[in-house]
Amino acid sequence: MDKRQVLIFDTTLRDGEQVPGCKLNTPQKIEIAQQLEKLGVDVIEAGFPISSPGDFNSVVEISKSVSEPIICGLSRGVKKDIEVAAEALKYAKRPRIHTGIGTSPSHIKYKFKSTPELILERGVEAVKHAKRFVEDVEFYAEDAGRTDNEYLARICEEVIKAGATVLNIPDTTGYCLPDEYGAKIKYLMDNVRGIENVIISAHCHNDLGLATANAISAVMNGARQIECTINGIGERAGNTSLEEVSMIMKQHPRLNVYNNINSKLLNPISKLVSERMGMLVQPNKAIVGSNAFAHSSGIHQDGVIKNRETYEIIDPADVGVTESMIVLTARSGRAALAFRAHRIGYNLTKLQLDDVYQLFLEKADVTKEVTDDDLHEIMKLAKIAG
The residues, any chain, with a CB within 8 Å of residue 138's CB and separated by 6 or more, are 72, 96, 97, 98, 99, 100, 164, 165, 166, 167, 168, 201
Q: For residue 9, state whether it binds ligand KIV (rule: CB under 6 A).
A: no
Minimum distance of Zn ion from residue 235's CB (angstroms): 6
Minimum distance of ligand KIV from residue 275's CB (angstroms): 24
Toward Zn ion, which CB reaches closer, 201 or 246?
Answer: 201
Q: Encode 26-69 in three state secondary structure.
A: HHHHHHHHHHHHHHCCCEEEEECHHHCHHHHHHHHHHHHHCCCC
Q: For residue 172, state whether it binds ligand KIV (rule: CB under 6 A).
A: yes
Minimum distance of ligand KIV from residue 163's CB (angstroms): 18
Interhelix angle for 79-88 vs 53-65, to 10°?
40
Strand partners, 325: 294
**Cα–Cα distances in angstroms (integers) from residue 38 to residues 43, 66, 67, 261, 305, in the given order:** 12, 10, 11, 9, 34
Q: What would the x/- binding string for ligand KIV be over residues 204 to 243, using CB under 6 A?
A: -x--------------------------------------
Q: By 3-state DSSP, what share of the chain in percent is helix, strand and coil, each rounded to 5?
A: 50, 15, 35
Burial of 246 (0-12, 13-18, 19+ CB in 10 A): buried
Minimum distance of ligand KIV from residue 180's CB (angstroms): 17
Using CA atoms, how far apart are residues 46 and 54, in angstroms rounded to an integer? 12
Minimum distance of ligand KIV from residue 205's CB (angstroms): 6
In Å, how far from its chain's centre is CA 319? 14
Binding test (CB under 6 A) with ligand KIV, winner from 12, 99, 168, 229: 168
The residues, any chain, with a CB within 8 Å of residue 121's CB and separated by 6 or more, are none
The one segment of 29-37, 79-87, 164-172, 374-382 that binds ligand KIV by CB under 6 A: 164-172
Using CA atoms, how far apart are residues 350 and 116, in angstroms rounded to an integer? 76
Residues 122-141 that bind ligand KIV (CB under 6 A): 140
The one segment of 112-120, 165-173, 246-254, 372-380 that binds ligand KIV by CB under 6 A: 165-173
The one segment of 30-38, 166-174, 280-288, 307-315 that binds ligand KIV by CB under 6 A: 166-174
Minimum distance of ligand KIV from residue 20's CB (angstroms): 16
Contact partner at residue 232 from Zn ion, ligand KIV, none, CB < 5 to 8 Å by partner kind: none
Toward ligand KIV, which CB reaches closer, 174 or 320?
Answer: 174
Contact partner at residue 302 from Zn ion, ligand KIV, none, CB < 5 to 8 Å by partner kind: none
Contact partner at residue 168 from Zn ion, ligand KIV, none, CB < 5 to 8 Å by partner kind: ligand KIV
Toward ligand KIV, which CB reaches closer, 142 or 157?
Answer: 142
Q: What are phi and psi of 295, to 5 degrees?
A: -120, 130
Continuous segment of H or E residues that includes residue 4: strand 4-5
Q: Are strands 95-102 and 70-76 parallel, antiparallel or unpaired?
A: parallel
The DSSP code for 239 is B
Residues 186-205 that bind ligand KIV (CB under 6 A): 203, 205
Instruction: Give the residue among 25, 68, 71 at the shortest CA–CA distance from 44.
Output: 71
Q: For residue 15, state whether it binds ligand KIV (rule: CB under 6 A).
A: yes
Contact partner at residue 316 from Zn ion, ligand KIV, none, CB < 5 to 8 Å by partner kind: none
Contact partner at residue 140 from Zn ion, ligand KIV, none, CB < 5 to 8 Å by partner kind: ligand KIV
Return residues touching Zn ion (CB under 5 A): 15
Toward Zn ion, which CB reaches closer, 15 or 244?
Answer: 15
Sign of CA dihedral 104, 110, 116, 122: negative
Applying CB under 6 A, the site for ligand KIV has a residue count of 8
Using CA atoms, how far apart are residues 304 and 239, in angstroms rounded to an integer? 32
Toward Zn ion, which CB reaches closer, 15 or 42?
Answer: 15
Toward ligand KIV, which CB reaches closer, 64 or 111?
Answer: 111
For residues 42 and 69, is the Cβ–Cβ distance under 8 A? yes
Minimum distance of ligand KIV from residue 175's CB (angstroms): 12
List contacts with ligand KIV (CB under 6 A).
15, 140, 142, 168, 170, 172, 203, 205
